[in-house]
């Protein structure tokens, strides 16, 4: 099952309008509505130029404790996954 996560603001009491879903008339979907806790922060998306100029690309290149950045990143993802499963 593929989940689609969207954040939408309620524009009229008791109603929500969602467009642009990849489903067609007659498709059956399940909808779960969860209130957003806390203040919603919208992070602006970076353009390719902004990302290149941000310093994020190559951030780990001068680290002596990281021999292979892809292995290091994989290990970090696995550790984060294990923390989420332990909850």
Which residue range is the domain that position 82 belongs to? 59-86
Tokens for 16, please give them. Answer: 């929500």
Who wins on pLDDT, 84 or 63? 63
Question: Tokens 């550790």 map to which residue?
Answer: 79
Could you give the angle at the alpha carbon of 50 between the alpha carbons of 47 and 52, nearest 5°? 110
**Residue 40 clears pLDDT 70, i.e. is over it:** no
If one counts the domains in the chain, the total is: 1
Which one-letter DSSP state was computed for residue 38? S
Whether 82 is covered by a domain: the verdict is yes
Whether 80 is covered by a domain: the verdict is yes
What pLDDT, on a 0 to 100 scale, did the predictor assign at position 39?
Answer: 67
Q: Looking at the whole model, is its pTM more than 0.75?
A: no
Instruction: Compute the average pLDDT of residues 14-18.
Output: 88
Whether 71 is covered by a domain: the verdict is yes
Q: Which band of pLDDT confidence, cut at 50, 70 and 90, is reported for residue 70?
A: confident
Whether 70 is covered by a domain: the verdict is yes
């Amino acid at each position: 099952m593929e989940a689609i996560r969207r954040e939408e603001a309620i524009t009229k009491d008791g109603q929500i309008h969602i467009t642009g879903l990849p489903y067609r008339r007659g498709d059956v979907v399940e909808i779960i509505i969860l209130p957003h806790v806390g203040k919603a922060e919208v992070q602006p998306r970076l353009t390719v130029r902004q990302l290149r100029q941000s310093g994020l690309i190559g951030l780990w290149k001068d680290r002596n404790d990281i021999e292979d950045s892809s292995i290091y990143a994989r290990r970090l993802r696995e550790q984060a996954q294990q923390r989420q499963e332990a909850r």
